[in-house]
C-alpha cells in the first residue's frame, strides 16, 4: 500500500473513532507509520480538511459494489430464496434489513464519519448520496417490488426501511453496542420487517384503509407519514417497555432519550424520501427552508410515557404553504391510530393497520348548550366554560372523544404548534371547528377552542373570543 493510501486508511479509521475535530494530525501520522509530528502528512495533503474529504472518497471506493444487484437479469428475490428457501415474506424483508445493516457494519469507519461529522464538503455528500445511499435504496426498492409482484412505486417504504436500520445502527454505535432494553438487533430488524411486509400485504387494499379516493388527498405523503410513524412507534415501544427517566428542559417541560431518538428517526425517515422538505420538531427545532414543513412531536405526553401510562402519542403533520394537509397521530401502547388529509376526511383504526377496522370520524351534532358535554385542559379553563353546561369526566384523550362524537367541545388554551397541528386538521375533517385565541385558525398561537360545528359560534361568544 502506498504511503498516501496508508495515511487515508489511518485518517478514516481515526476520524471514525475519535471524530475529525478530536484527531490531531500527529496521531494520523503515527498511525500511518510516519514520524508523529513531523509534518510528513502535508507532503501528500495541503490541509486537514482536504485529508477528510479524500479519506471519505477513499472509503467510498473501498465498498462492495452493489450496482450488480440492479442488473436486469439479476433476481433479488432469487437471492433471498437461496438464503431462506422456505422463508415467509417477513423472513425475506428481514434479510433485506440484514443486508443494509451488514453494509453499514462492513464500512463502520466511513459510516461513523458520514453520520457524525458535519465537516464534510457538500460535493462529497452529493457523491455519497448518488453512489451509496441511492444505490442501497434502489436495491431495497427493487427487492420489495419483486416481493410484491407488482409495478407500484416502493421507493418510500424502501427509504423507511433503510432509515430505520441506519438509525438503529447509529444508536447502537453511539452506545457502544448497547440498546435501551434487552431487545437485540434481530428483534428490531424483525419488527421493521413485519411493518414493511404488512405494507406489501395491504398494497392492494381498499381505499378506506388510507382514507383515499377523495379529491385533495396526497396518498404518497400520507403513506410516507404512515411509514415514518409506524417505525417511530416501534422504536418508542422499545423504550416504553424498558422504562425511561425524564429530565427537565430549559422551558421546564420533561424530555427523555426516547423523545430524541424517535424524532431523529422521524427526520431521517422523512428526509430519505423528501430531501427538500423542512422540519419543525419539539426536540430539535427548525431545519431547512421549504414551503413543505413536517411538524413533529415524537412523544406527546412525555410525562405519561415516563410513568408507564399508555396514553402517549406520536404526532406527525405536513404543512404545505402554511396549511396542514396531512396529519397522523399514533398511540402504539393503546394500539390505535388517527389520521386525516385535507379534503379526504378523518379516520381511526387499530395499530398496526393490518386487517384492522377503519372508521370514519364524525363530531357530534349537538346544537344547544343545554344538551352539550364540554371539557377543558385544566380547572381554570373549565371555570371559563358556560355556566350550567355538563362537564365531561377528565380524560387523557379528550380530542379523540371529540372526533368520535362522545363530547362536544374541548378548550385547550396552551401548548405548542407540534401539539395542535395534527389535531386541528383531524377535528376539521371530522366536521368540527378550531379557533385560536386570536380568532384565527392557526396551530401556533397557544391553542384555542375545538368543538363541533353547531356549537362553535355559541362557545366563541361565551368565551369572548378573540381573547387578544
- Please report, rounded to a whole number, the percentage of residues in the chain having pLDDT higher than 90: 57
Output helix, strand, coil percentages for the chain, rounded to the nearest 5: 50, 15, 35
pLDDT at 214: 36
Window from 77-81, 111-115, 214-218, 275-279 with minimum mean pLDDT: 214-218
Residue 213 clears pLDDT 50, i.e. is over it:
no
What's residue 1's pLDDT? 85
Residue closest to 97 by CA, chosen among 222, 207, 195: 195
> Residue by residue, what is the 3-state secondary structure of 332-343?
CCCCEEEEEECC
User: What residues does each domain of the chain span?
Assistant: 3-62, 69-356, 369-463
CA-based angle 212:216:221, to the nearest 5?
65
Mean pLDDT of the region 126-143: 87
Q: Is residue 455 within 8 Å of residue 366, measured between CB atoms?
A: yes
Q: Is the pLDDT of residue 210 over 60?
A: no
Q: Which helix H or strand E contains 433, and what residues bound it? A: strand 432-436
Give the C-alpha separation, 103 to 116, whole Å.
17
**3-62: what fold?**
Arc Repressor Mutant, subunit A (1.10.10)
Residue 203's pLDDT is 61
Q: For residue 343, what pLDDT is reported?
A: 86
What's the Cα-to-Cα distance from 403 to each of 35, 430, 462, rounded to whole Å?
71, 6, 22
Mean pLDDT of 35-44: 92
- Compute the distance between CA of residue 142 and CA of residue 69 in angstroms, rounded to an integer: 9
Q: Per-residue pLDDT averaged across 220-232, rounded?
A: 92
Q: Strand pairing of 247-248 and 254-255?
A: antiparallel
Query: Phi-psi bin for 320: left (phi > 0), alpha (psi -120 to 50), beta?
Result: beta
Return the pLDDT at 22. 86
pLDDT surpassing 80 at residue 122 = no
Is 60 exceeded by the pLDDT of residue 198? yes
369-463 has CATH 3.50.50.60 classification: no
Q: Which residue has the higher pLDDT, 163 or 409?
A: 409
Residue range 101-117, pLDDT digits in tens: 998 888 888 777 776 66
- Dig out the grid coordinates for 103 from the structure: 453494509
Cβ pair 239, 260 in contact under 8 A = no
Mean pLDDT of all residues in 209-227: 65
> What's the confidence (pLDDT) of residue 204?
46
Q: Which residue has the higher pLDDT, 208 or 463?
A: 463
**CATH number for the domain whose boundaries are 69-356:** 3.30.540.10
Closest by CA to 429, choosing from 322, 327, 291, is 327
Which among 261, 255, 297, 262 has a CA at the least distance from the CA of 279?
Answer: 297
pLDDT in tens, 347-381: 999 998 765 578 999 999 999 999 999 999 999 99
**In 3D, which of 278, 286, 244, 274 has the Cα closest to residue 261?**
244
| pLDDT at residue 251 in the model | 80
pLDDT at residue 97 above 70? yes
Q: Find the mean pLDDT for residues 315-343.
A: 95
Nearest CA to 222 among 324, 83, 374? 324
Question: What cell was used for 468?
Answer: 387578544
Task: List CB contacts of 233: < 8 A, sequence separation 6 or more.
Answer: 314, 330, 332, 351
Across the range 310-328, mean pLDDT stands at 96
The three grid cell numbers given for residue 313, joined into one nine-digit string: 402519542
What is the pTM for the complete model shown? 0.65
Q: pLDDT at position 167, please? A: 79
H or E element at residue 456: helix 453-463
pLDDT score of 129: 78
Bond prior to 329 in cis (omega within 30° of 0): no
Spatial CB neighbours of 423, under 8 Å, sequence gap ≥ 6: 327, 329, 399, 434, 450
Q: How confident is the model at residue 208 (pLDDT cuts 50, 70, 90)?
A: very low
Instruction: Name the most confidently modeled range: 124-128, 188-192, 237-241, 384-388.
Output: 384-388
Amino acid at each position: 500500500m502506498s504511503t498516501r493510501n496508508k495515511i487515508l486508511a489511518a485518517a478514516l479509521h481515526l476520524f471514525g473513532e475519535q471524530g475529525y475535530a478530536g484527531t490531531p494530525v500527529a496521531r494520523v501520522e503515527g498511525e500511518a507509520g510516519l514520524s508523529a509530528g513531523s509534518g510528513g502528512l502535508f507532503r501528500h495533503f495541503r490541509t486537514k480538511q482536504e485529508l477528510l474529504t479524500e479519506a471519505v472518497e477513499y472509503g467510498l471506493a473501498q465498498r462492495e459494489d452493489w450496482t450488480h444487484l440492479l442488473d436486469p437479469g439479476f433476481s433479488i428475490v432469487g437471492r433471498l430464496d437461496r438464503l431462506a428457501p422456505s422463508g415467509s415474506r417477513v423472513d425475506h424483508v428481514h434479510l433485506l434489513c440484514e443486508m443494509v445493516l451488514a453494509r453499514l457494519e462492513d464500512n463502520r469507519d466511513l459510516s461513523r464519519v458520514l453520520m457524525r461529522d458535519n465537516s464534510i464538503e457538500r460535493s462529497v455528500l452529493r457523491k455519497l448520496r448518488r453512489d451509496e445511499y441511492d444505490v442501497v435504496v434502489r436495491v431495497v426498492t427493487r427487492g420489495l417490488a419483486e416481493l410484491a409482484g407488482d409495478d407500484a412505486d416502493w421507493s418510500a417504504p424502501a427509504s423507511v426501511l433503510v432509515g430505520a436500520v441506519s438509525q438503529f445502527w447509529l444508536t447502537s454505535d453511539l452506545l457502544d453496542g448497547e440498546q435501551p432494553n434487552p431487545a437485540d438487533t434481530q428483534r428490531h430488524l424483525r419488527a421493521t420487517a413485519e411493518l414493511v411486509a404488512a405494507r406489501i400485504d395491504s398494497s392492494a387494499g381498499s381505499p378506506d384503509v388510507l382514507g383515499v379516493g377523495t379529491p385533495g388527498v396526497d396518498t404518497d405523503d400520507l403513506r410516507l407519514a404512515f411509514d415514518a410513524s409506524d417505525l417511530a412507534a416501534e422504536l418508542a415501544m422499545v423504550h416504553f417497555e424498558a422504562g425511561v427517566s425524564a429530565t427537565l428542559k430549559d422551558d421546564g417541560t420533561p424530555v427523555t432519550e426516547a423523545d430524541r431518538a424517535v424524532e431523529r428517526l422521524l427526520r431521517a425517515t422523512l428526509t430519505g424520501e423528501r430531501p427538500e422538505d423542512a422540519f419543525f420538531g419539539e426536540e430539535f427545532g427548525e431545519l431547512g427552508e421549504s414551503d413543505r414543513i413536517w411538524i413533529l412531536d415524537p412523544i406527546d405526553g412525555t410525562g405519561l410515557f415516563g410513568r408507564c401510562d399508555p396514553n402517549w402519542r406520536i404526532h406527525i403533520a405536513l404543512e404545505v404553504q402554511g396549511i396542514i394537509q396531512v396529519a397522523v397521530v399514533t398511540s402504539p401502547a393503546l394500539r390505535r391510530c388517527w389520521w386525516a388529509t385535507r379534503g379526504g376526511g378523518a379516520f381511526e383504526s387499530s395499530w398496526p393497520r393490518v386487517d384492522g377496522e377503519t372508521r370514519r370520524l364524525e363530531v357530534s351534532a349537538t346544537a344547544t348548550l343545554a344538551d352539550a358535554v364540554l371539557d377543558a385542559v385544566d380547572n381554570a379553563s373549565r371555570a371559563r366554560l358556560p355556566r350550567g353546561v355538563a362537564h365531561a369526566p377528565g380524560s387523557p384523550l379528550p380530542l379523540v372523544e371529540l372526533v368520535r362524537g362522545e363530547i362536544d367541545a374541548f378548550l385547550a388554551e396552551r401548548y405548542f404548534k407540534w401539539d395542535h397541528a395534527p389535531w386541528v386538521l383531524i377535528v376539521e375533517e371530522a366536521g368540527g371547528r378550531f379557533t385560536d385565541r386570536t380568532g384565527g385558525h392557526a396551530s401556533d398561537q397557544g391553542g384555542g377552542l375545538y368543538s363541533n360545528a353547531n356549537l362553535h359560534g355559541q362557545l366563541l361568544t361565551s368565551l369572548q373570543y378573540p381573547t387578544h
